[in-house]
Amino acid sequence: MATLAKKRLQGCADIGILYSPISRLEVVTNHPRCFSAIYGRKSMAKAKKSKPKKAKKSGRKPNAAFMRPMSTTSTLAAVIGSGAMPRTEVTKKLWAYIKRNNLQDKMNRRMINADDKLRAVFGGKSQVSMFDMTKLVSKHLS
C-alpha cells in the first residue's frame, strides 16, 4: 500500500507524507487531485446537485432555397441524370459519380480529376478543387 501510494503521489507538490513506526503511510493534504490519487475517488468535494435539463427544441429548419427543385442543363444531366432536383441531391449524385469512377486525385484528395463528361461541366478544366466544384456546378442549375 505504501509504495503504491508513493508512486501515485510523485507528481504532486502539495503533500506532506508522514511515516509512522508501523510502516503505515498517512497523507496530509487537502488537494483534490492528491486525494483522488490515494483513495481512488474523483474528488473529495461533494457533488453538486445538477438541475434537471430542459429538453432542447429542434428549432433548426432546412433552408428552403436548398430544397427547391432546380432544373439541370444537358451537360450536367449527362453526369447525374435528368429531372429537377434540389441542390443537395445534385451534390450527392455528383459525388457518387466521382467516387464510382475514381476521379479523386490519389495524392491530393481535395482535387477532382475531370473525365470527358465532367470537363464539360467544369468549363474545360481538367482538375478542379472540391471547393470550386459547387461554384462551377451552380452555373448549370436554373
Note the pLDDT of residue 57.
Answer: 66
Pairing type for strands 111-113 and 16-19 reads unpaired
Is 7 within the bounds of a domain? Answer: yes
Sole residue written with cell 482538375:
127
Mean pLDDT of the residues in the chain: 77
Count structural domains, the chain: 2
Note the pLDDT of residue 60.
Answer: 77
Note the pLDDT of residue 116.
Answer: 94
Neighbours of 132 (CB within 10 A): 15
Burial degree of 107 (CB within 10 A; 0-12, 13-18, 19+): exposed
- Residue type at 140 in one-letter notation: H
My answer on whether 35 and 72 are in the same domain is no
Pairing type for strands 25-28 and 111-113 reads unpaired
| CATH number, domain containing residue 119 | 1.10.245.10
pLDDT tens digits along 38-85: 555 555 555 556 667 666 666 777 777 778 999 999 999 999 999 999
Q: Which H or E element spans position 112?
A: strand 111-113
My answer on whether 69 and 134 are in the same domain is yes
Over 60: is that where the pLDDT of 16 sits? no
Note the pLDDT of residue 67.
Answer: 85
Residues 19-47 have a mean pLDDT of: 54
Residues 114-125 have a mean pLDDT of: 95
Cβ atoms 104, 98 nearer than 8 A: yes
